[in-house]
Amino acid sequence: MFSTFATLVLSLIATSVVSALVVPRATAPQGWDTSALEPYDTYHCRYVALQCQTQHNTEFFSDCCHPLAAGESASALPAQCQMPSGDSCSNGELVSNDDGCDDGPSSTPTASPASSTPVQPAPLPTTSNTPIAVPAPTTTSEAVSTTAPSTGSSDSSLNYGGYATYFYQEGNPGACGTVHSDSDFICAMDQSRYGNSGNASPLCGQQVQITNQINGNTVVVTIADDCPTCQNENSIDLSVAAFQALDNLSVGDLPITWKFLN
């Protein structure tokens, strides 16, 4: 049990260092070890209440934003890691009794999210080396449409409703088993499309053409990894160079359309 927990936590720490922004999904990701870790809905609620999605690459994230071992109590964490006063959990979802807005821990500086709209939960990484993606800004009650809008392109091969994010390579092989640099034009596909991250997918090596819906910039990338934390099946995690071909890294995430080229 301890070995499984240690692997999950080490994987989470390693990937969180190279990620821009992530929030757990409301449902546990595949591979969540219920025997070794605290209940997922408990972790999800605390993560959102502390606004961990704005704290990556900080000491606060390292201290407060990782899952606890089964039987470990959050009350043993430092004071800044406690749920804000007035917040509670209901079926794993955060309930705020103030003005309906979760301001997070008052003693911890927070970064401005990509949008003023609340962030849609996304899953945690499994025990693989896969990168963490930045989720797109949607409300928790809003369903993101992945079908073509009635006024959109007539190209039936285009996929809509997804968001592009980026991740750093750090010398780690992707799920396809290859190592790349930040300057390579590669991407990680949502795990629902990729399949089991422990195996090379039939998608490995395929090329994808991605278009930024805001400015029209387009980039062609090669699939080299899977993304268990992407917003939805039509979202794609990009290498640094590929994302920069679409927009500045400071954007964090952006709406896209895309299609397979081969």
DSSP for 202-217 reads: TTTT-EEEEEETTT--
User: What is the average per-residue pLDDT within 34-47?
Assistant: 80
The answer, yes or no, to whether residue 24 has pLDDT greater than 70, is no
Confidence class for position 77, pLDDT limits 50, 70, 90: confident
Neighbours of 125 (CB within 10 A): 26
**Cβ–Cβ < 8 Å for 139, 258:** no
Confidence class for position 96, pLDDT limits 50, 70, 90: confident
In sequence order, the 6+-apart residues with CB closer than 8 A to the CB of 89 are 41, 42, 45, 46, 49, 95
86: left (phi over 0), alpha (psi -120 to 50) or beta: left
**Cβ–Cβ < 8 Å for 91, 119:** no
pLDDT of residue 258: 96
User: Which pTM does this prediction carry?
Assistant: 0.47
- 29/153 Cα distance (integer angstroms): 33
Alpha carbon dihedral 31, 130, 146, 207, in 10-degree steps, equals: -140
Q: Which residue has the higher pLDDT, 185 or 29?
A: 185
In sequence order, the 6+-apart residues with CB closer than 8 A to the CB of 216 are none
Q: Which residue has the higher pLDDT, 243 or 94?
A: 243
Taken in order of first residue, the domains within the chain and their CATH numbers are 2-96 (no CATH), 159-260 (2.40.40.10)
The answer, yes or no, to whether residue 78 has pLDDT greater than 60, is yes
User: What is the average per-residue pLDDT within 176-205?
Assistant: 93
Question: pLDDT averaged over the chain?
Answer: 74
pLDDT of residue 155: 66
Which range (69-73, 113-117, 141-145, 173-177) has the least confidence? 113-117
Token digits for 249?
């890294």
The answer, yes or no, to whether residue 186 has pLDDT greater than 90, is yes
Q: Which residue has the higher pLDDT, 219 or 60?
A: 219
Encode pLDDT of 106-162 as tens digits.
444 444 444 434 444 434 443 344 444 444 444 333 344 555 554 344 567 899 999
The answer, yes or no, to whether residue 247 has pLDDT greater than 80, is yes
pLDDT of residue 98: 56
Token digits for 232?
């939805």
Phi, psi of 240 (to 5 degrees): -60, -50
Phi, psi of 54 (to 5 degrees): -105, 10
Nearest Cα neighbor of 210 from 260, 252, 156 is 260
